[in-house]
Amino acid sequence: MTAAAATLLRTAVELTAYAPEGERAERAVVMTMGALHEGHASLIQTARAVVGPAGQVVVTVFVNPLQFGEAADLDRYPRTLDADLAVAGAAGADVVFAPSVDEVYPGGEPQVRISAGPMGERLEGASRPGHFDGMLTVVAKLLHLTRPDVAFFGQKDAQQLALIRRMVRDLNFPVEIVGVETVREADGLALSSRNRFLDPYERHTALALSRALFAARDRLAAQQALHARAQTTGATEDRAAGLTRLGEARLAADAQAVARARPDKGPAAVRAAARAVLDDAAAEQPPLSLDYLALVDPADFTEITDDRTAGDAILAVAARVGATRLIDNIPLTFGATT
């Protein structure tokens, strides 16, 4: 049996009437700009699992003009509402709330907006000035309009997720924010509504983003495994030299690698592994044009120094392939030994 499409609501009045006061089943919201794909479906499925069959799952579809620096980018953003209703319903949503611009901003662009602060000026904020102010403003409005108990956002937009969590904490919004793991296509490319703009050659180049992140993750895991061995075996440069004198070249090379696996080299190794992949992609046809590669603290998105030996981090990348700008990231933990 085919799942029913989600109910379409266009106004705040309709949304309020759909959930009258007194019926306080737990409500989850998944905020999107439409053009729904499997990544959005994963968010909706997670929301349904959390609130259960008795709860409500509301998906918002709103292409927010405050987030776009250029009118051409706003006009180019795909609108696929009929398909979105089907995807949302199949994934478990009850309602798609798709208001007009006039419904969200009845007096025109708002005079009072949420400021993203210093974190909103880094990375994506530096590349797209004002983007995060516009994003937080509409998220705040949609939280007020939908009144959820819990809201779900994808970790692919890691800086956005961090800023929403900070806004909710700093401004005392009564909602729990949950991040959901990035969904990837079989070849590793992070799912995005912008992927549809890539031709086959551009898509091949774009795979460098995820390959760079995975290379960095694997380099860190290998280095931390070697460091763990050094802690247990006592491998030293002197031992490696002794094995070399005995003609044990393979054992000597292994001992030397273990001895040199210092924890304070982790950030540099991560950056180098990712950079090597991205540099190769810059020579592809079509080339990858790197915007940034940054290893940051997930709390405030400040750059992590090369002497970091423990703690969580996010390796984030943004680049253009042809006319399409893509972002991706991966969480890392320094100091892990398993």
Tens digits of residue pLDDT in 89-109:
999 999 999 999 999 999 999
Q: What's the rounded mean pLDDT across residues 37-59?
A: 96
How high is the pLDDT of residue 73? 77
C-alpha dihedral sign at 184, 78, 89, 50: positive
The answer to whether 318 and 296 have CB atoms below 8 angstroms apart is no
Distance CA 180, CA 46 (A): 8
Residue 1 confidence (pLDDT)? 41
Catalytic, 40? Answer yes
Write out the E strands in the chain.
7-9, 27-32, 56-61, 95-97, 150-154, 176-180, 288-296, 311-321, 324-334
- Count of residues in the chain: 338
**In the chain, pLDDT over 90 holds for what percent of residues?**
75
Backbone angles phi, psi at 297, to 5 degrees: -75, 125
Distances (CA, A) of 8 to 59, 149, 301: 10, 21, 37
Cα-based distances in Å from 269 to 85, 259, 274, 315, 318: 45, 15, 9, 12, 19
- State residue 241's pLDDT score: 61
| DSSP string computed for 177-218 | EEEEPPPB-TTSPBP-GGGGG--HHHHHHHTHHHHHHHHHHH
The whole-number average pLDDT for the span 158-185 is: 97
Q: Which residue has the tokens 């898509």?
A: 203
Residue corresponding to tokens 């006061």: 21
Longest distance between any two alpha carbons in the chain, whole Å: 83
Residue 230 pLDDT > 90: no
Nearest partner of 267 among 294, 301, 307, judged by Cα: 307
Distance CA 228, CA 33 (A): 45
Catalytic residue among 40, 144, 204, 227: 40
Residue 336, pLDDT above cutoff 80: no
The residues facing 8 across adjacent strands are 96
- pLDDT for res 29: 98
Amino acid 25: pLDDT: 82
Residue entry with tokens 């892990």: 336
Section 282-290 average pLDDT? 97
Residue 311 has pLDDT above 60, yes or no: yes
Residue 19 has pLDDT above 80, yes or no: no
Q: Which two tokens stand for residue 23?
A: 């019926």
pLDDT surpassing 70 at residue 116: yes
Contact 77, 48 (CB under 8 A): no
